[in-house]
Amino acid sequence: MDAIDATLPPPVNYLNAQHGIKSWLLTRDHKRIALLYLFGITFFFVLGGIFAALIRLELLTPAGDLMEAETYNKMFTLHGVIMIFFFLIPSIPATLGNFLVPIMIGAKDLAFPRINLLSWYIYMVGGLFTIAVIVLGGVDTGWTFYTPYSTAASNTHVVLTGLGVFITGFSSILTGLNFIVTIHRMRAPGMTWFRLPLFIWSHYATALIMVLGTPVIAITVLLVAAERVLHLGLFDPKLGGDPVLFQHLFWFYSHPAVYIMILPAMGVISELVAAFSRKAIFGYNFVAFASLAIALIGFLVWGHHMFVSSQSVYAGLVFSFLSFLVAIPSAVKVFNWTATMYKGSISFQAPIMYVFGFMGLFLVGGLTGLFLASVGLDVHVHDTYFVVAHFHYIMVGGAIMGFQGGLHYWWPKIFGRKYPEGWAKLAALVIFVGFNLTFFPQFLLGYLGMPRRYYAYPPEFQVLNIMSTAGASVLAIGYLIPAIYFAWSLKYGELAEANPWGAKGLEWTIPSPPPTYNFEETPVITEPPYNYTPEFVASVTAASRPEVELG
Amino acid sequence: MADAQAHAQDLEPTALQHQFDSLEQQFDASVLGMWVFLVTEIMFFGGLFMAYIVYRTWYPDSFAAGSHHLDVTLGMTNTMVLIASSLTMALAVWAGQQGNRFRQVLFLGLTLLFGFAFLGIKAYEYWEKFQDHLVPGPNFVWDGPGNPHAVQIFYSLYFAMTGLHALHMVVGAGIMITLLVMAARGRFTRQWSTPLEIGGLYWHFVDIVWIFLFPLLYLIERHV
Ligand code: HEM
Ligand SMILES: [Cu+2]
């Protein structure tokens, strides 16, 4: 396992083993399904991005001049629904996770390849519902579907949107089910639980949330649809129902859902930190158990979204306390990554730039999360731009940074070609700058009292809003550059060897791109994870480290 | 539900699928897959149970009044029918392990029959409720004791919970038919009867859900 295979891509690999559109649409290969998902989420990211651009354009001036208030409501709803349910939730697990989970544990595929393909079709059908909503005129409830507005007042396409969310939920459930069974039952001989890469641990924790949380949102949106059509009274106070019950059910899923978004990114960061520091992750067990702790405690904190929704003070205090508690395992991870990098010889390439981006932005997002979890402060900033800034630091600054870092790191493995390093570094920098320019002013706006979800605002907020919109343009360019060079690299990129980074891990022991069944014969694992022995480091440094070293 | 069927198809007889190293691994994975699926089902019903707990606490009298309009005899009969079907299902799984084709067909057939009996009785109950204007929505009428809004919430939950359960029974009947055909063709042997085992898990789960639904919906405040 130690030897670096520097041969060129094998003539037959998973990409060219079969040809034609049918061979893709009927594939059961987890690697091809990962690419189908990559196609899907990219499409929805662009779509959601267009809505974001329209939101930011409207907010350039204090007056509501670009669109009607109703249209603006539809813009932020569609933006939120698409970004959450159709982009970020499937992003890392369904693409990088799908591709890497079997390979990293030494398996030929996931346990249920057909169910894996089925999950992609379910996702696409849910997506079609959402596109239908856009074509038919949109939906305006916010991605949170709060009752009784969504059930008794809104005259937009709530039912259709709800069905779309309901359907895609099952794709998420099936992915989670597949991961859990695969990680339990498909590990290669010798791949004990504590030899698993941390990427696997974080995906295991994610899968638990997918399986335990998603059914609850599914039944909840179903009830909203039924209530809307039949006026059952379940969530309508006029008919004896309780709108707050909806909020409980909704956030029971939707808070853990943010861990569906961030945990896989943390898994990516663990791999990247080890690979670029050439060291084992400091405190492996702590990081592994931190993933599980986040998944489990994450189910107990949903009430922090409801401090001002008539929740009792005692419940509020308990939820506040538990929310502080869940910050501990997250902080453990950040400490351990930092400790790993300390005195490591870090090679400064694009993926590690995303790691630094992630750590900085996730830190800000996480700490402001603690502000929001403090009952007293939240009463002040609830439903202001402070919240919008907070969750974008987590979701865009954390999860998407992690996703992009991982995409760069595994790109040579997935496609057998390298991306242009210089452009990649430039893009990482542009994204970091653009991101902060977009979202930092929103913290200030929120603290000063600008509420979210309004299309107009008092003139004194304009300067900060202009900064935010300008930042969004920079950010858009930052996302466009990788789109171009990634596409370019598919044809013109330098051919990648099996282990271009000189990293440990089973995925780097097989050719790039891998053959259809990944391993010629099932590997037998005899060493701990991230076993960067001095001999290994010496052998790979000589072979593949043209870059400057900082240290 | 639909996934459960896809799941059953995922298991071609005896042949080892490419992703597994051994039949044993393949069997373990299938069984674990079904268990995980059942956990998602518990959470799925869980949302409804939560709503039930909240509203029954809020409106105990109206829930009792609504409940008294359900037909306990039919509910009790259906409970017996399902318990019997669980027994025949367990016998079918046992027959699978024995590789006894005749008994497999017999017990699967009986299970299917009980399943249809349950659905028939349930349909009759729904029809009665429809006659009595107890289906929530614009035609709902309640002039008995209690708060009509709260009784409508009771009936909403009744239909949502038993309806979802009935849907699972329909899917279960589909699985039984598939298994019956496979059994009749002699596909299950002493070495390999995985679909029977995981189909059985599913069936028992659906039965257990009913065991909770019956007292919660039919037996509110009915002490003798
Ligand atoms: C990349 C550039 C992005 C920009 C410029 C942007 C901008 C905005 C703005 C201005 C709002 C607030 C609308 C309002 O409340 O008035 C918003 C809301 C939101 N954004 Fe983004 N966003 C971006 C990316 C994303 C991504 C990638 C995600 C998730 C993965 C996301 C998730 C959300 C959510 C969930 C909301 C709340 C929607 C609601 O209030 O219902 N955004 N975004
Ligand atoms: Cu939360």
Tracing tokens 């309004």 back to the chain, one arrives at: A454
How does pLDDT run across A250-259, given as a tens digit for each residue? 999 999 999 9
**pLDDT the model gives residue A10:** 58
DSSP A143: T
- Is the separation of the CB atoms in A291 and A263 below 8 Å? yes
Beta-carbon separation of A181 and B32 below 8 A: yes
Token pair of B113, please?
């029959």
- Is the separation of the CB atoms in A405 and A362 below 8 Å? no
Given CA atoms A143, A149, A151, A157 in this order, what sign does their dihedral have? negative
**B160 close contact with A: CB closer than 8 A:** yes
Atom of ligand 1 nearest to the CA of A87: 30
* Mutate which of A79, A452, A469 for ligand 1 pocket (most atoms within 8 A of beta carbon): A79
Round to whole Å and give the CA distance between A248 and A83: 22
A3 vs B14, higher pLDDT: B14
What is the rounded average pLDDT of the residues B40-63? 96
Nearest chain A residue to B44 by CA distance is A215
**Quick one: what percent of chain A has pLDDT higher than 70?**
96
Domain with A105, as residue range(s), is 2-548
Distance A367 CA to ligand 2 centre (A): 13
Q: Could you give the residue ranges of the DSSP H alpha helices within A342-420? A: 350-373, 375-381, 385-392, 401-415
Whether omega before A148 lies within 30 degrees of 0, making that bond cis, reads: yes
DSSP A304: G
Nearest to B37 by CA among B56, B64, B63, B10: B10
Which residues make Cβ contacts (< 8 Å) with residue A387, sequence separation at least 6?
A372, A381, A446, A452
Structurally, chain A folds into a number of domains equal to 1
Average pLDDT of chain A to the nearest whole number: 94
Nearest to A210 by CA among A85, A371, A365, A304: A85
Asked whether A472 lines ligand 1 (CB < 6 A), one says yes
Round to whole Å and give the CA distance between A480 and A497: 27
What is the rounded average pLDDT of the residues B193-212? 96
Token pair of A533, please?
């022995």
**Can you count the helices (H) and strands (E) in chain A?**
18, 2
Q: How many CB pairs lie under 8 A apart between chains A and B?
A: 128
Q: Parallel, antiparallel, or unpaired: how do β-strands A346-347 and A549-550 relate?
A: antiparallel
Question: Distances in Å between the alpha carbon of A349 and those of A270, A398, A504?
Answer: 16, 19, 17
DSSP A238: G
> Does residue A114 register a pLDDT over 80?
yes
What is the rounded average pLDDT of the residues A349-377? 95
Asked whether A388 lines ligand 1 (CB < 6 A), one says yes
What is the rounded average pLDDT of the residues B152-171? 97
**pLDDT the model gives residue A2:** 41
**pLDDT the model gives residue A11:** 75
**pLDDT the model gives residue A9:** 52
Round to whole Å and give the CA distance between B36 and B32: 6
Token pair of A503, please?
């990293």
User: What angle, rounded to 10 degrees, do the helices at B194-218 and B72-98 form?
Assistant: 170
**pLDDT the model gives residue A523:** 95
Beta-carbon separation of A245 and B43 below 8 A: no
A104 vs A9, higher pLDDT: A104
What is the rounded average pLDDT of the residues A243-263? 96
How does pLDDT run across B87-144, given as a tens digit for each residue? 999 999 999 999 999 999 999 999 999 999 999 999 999 999 999 999 999 899 999 9
**pLDDT the model gives residue A57:** 97
Question: Distances in Å between the alpha carbon of A24 and those of A7, A36, A418, B10, B91?
Answer: 27, 8, 23, 19, 43
3-state SS string for chain B: CHHHHHHHHCCCCCCCCCCCCCHHHHHHHHHHHHHHHHHHHHHHHHHHHHHHHHHHHHCHHHHHHHHCCCCHHHHHHHHHHHHHHHHHHHHHHHHHHHCCHHHHHHHHHHHHHHHHHHHHHHHHHHHHHHHCCCCCCCCCCCCCCCCHHHHHHHHHHHHHHHHHHHHHHHHHHHHHHHHHHHHHCCCCCCCCCHHHHHHHHHHHHHHHHHHHHHHHHHCCCCCC
What are the two backbone dihedrals, phi and then psi, of residue A247, each rounded to the nearest 5 degrees?
-60, -40
What are the two backbone dihedrals, phi and then psi, of residue A42, each rounded to the nearest 5 degrees?
-65, -45
Nearest to A17 by CA among A513, A492, A464: A513
CATH of domain B24-218: 1.20.120.80
Residue A160: count of CB within 10 angstroms of its CB: 15
> Does residue A542 register a pLDDT over 90?
no
How does pLDDT run across A389-408, given as a tens digit for each residue? 999 999 999 999 999 999 99
Asked whether A84 lines ligand 1 (CB < 6 A), one says yes
Token pair of A494, please?
């330098």
Round to whole Å and give the CA distance between A43 and B180: 44
How does pLDDT run across A271-289, given as a tens digit for each residue? 999 999 999 999 999 999 9
> Does residue A4 register a pLDDT over 50?
no
Residue A487: count of CB within 10 angstroms of its CB: 10
* A328-334: long-range pairs with CB below 8 Å, 24+: A328/A293, A329/A289, A329/A290, A329/A291, A329/A293, A329/A294, A329/A297, A330/A290, A330/A294, A330/A366, A331/A366, A332/A283, A332/A286, A332/A287, A332/A290, A333/A266, A333/A269, A333/A270, A333/A287, A333/A290, A334/A359, A334/A362, A334/A363
Residue B20: count of CB within 10 angstroms of its CB: 20
Of A102, A118, A233, the CB nearest to B6: A118
* Mutate which of A150, A259, A388, A395 for ligand 1 pocket (most atoms within 8 A of beta carbon): A388
Given CA atoms B103, B105, B109, B115 in this order, what sign does their dihedral have? positive
Per-domain residue ranges for chain B?
24-218
CA B91 to chain centre: 18
- Is the separation of the CB atoms in A6 and A498 below 8 Å? yes
Residue B218: count of CB within 10 angstroms of its CB: 20
Beta-carbon separation of A185 and B32 below 8 A: yes
Q: Return the SS3 of A9.
A: coil
For residue A343, the one-letter residue type is K
Asked whether A452 lines ligand 1 (CB < 6 A), one says yes
**B100 close contact with A: CB closer than 8 A:** no
User: What angle, rounded to 10 degrees, do the helices at B72-98 and B101-131 form?
Assistant: 160
Round to whole Å and give the CA distance between A351 and A138: 38
Q: What is the CATH number of the domain that holds A245?
A: 1.20.210.10
How does pLDDT run across A414-436, given as a tens digit for each residue? 999 999 999 999 999 999 999 99
User: What angle, rounded to 10 degrees, do the helices at A350-373 and A313-341 form?
Assistant: 160
**pLDDT the model gives residue A8:** 53
**pLDDT the model gives residue B146:** 92
Residues forming a β-bridge with A550 = A346
pLDDT range class, residue B14, cuts 50, 70, 90: low
Round to whole Å and give the CA distance between B33 and A111: 9
Asked whether A87 lines ligand 1 (CB < 6 A), one says yes
- Is the separation of the CB atoms in B217 and B162 below 8 Å? yes
Which residues make Cβ contacts (< 8 Å) with residue B223, sequence separation at least 6?
none
pTM score, whole prediction: 0.92
How would DSSP label each residue in A417-464?
B---HHHHHHHHHHHHHHHHHHHHHHHHHHHHTPBSS-S---GGGHHH
**pLDDT the model gives residue A266:** 97
How does pLDDT run across A143-156, given as a tens digit for each residue? 999 999 999 999 99
Of A111, A170, A249, the CB nearest to B33: A111
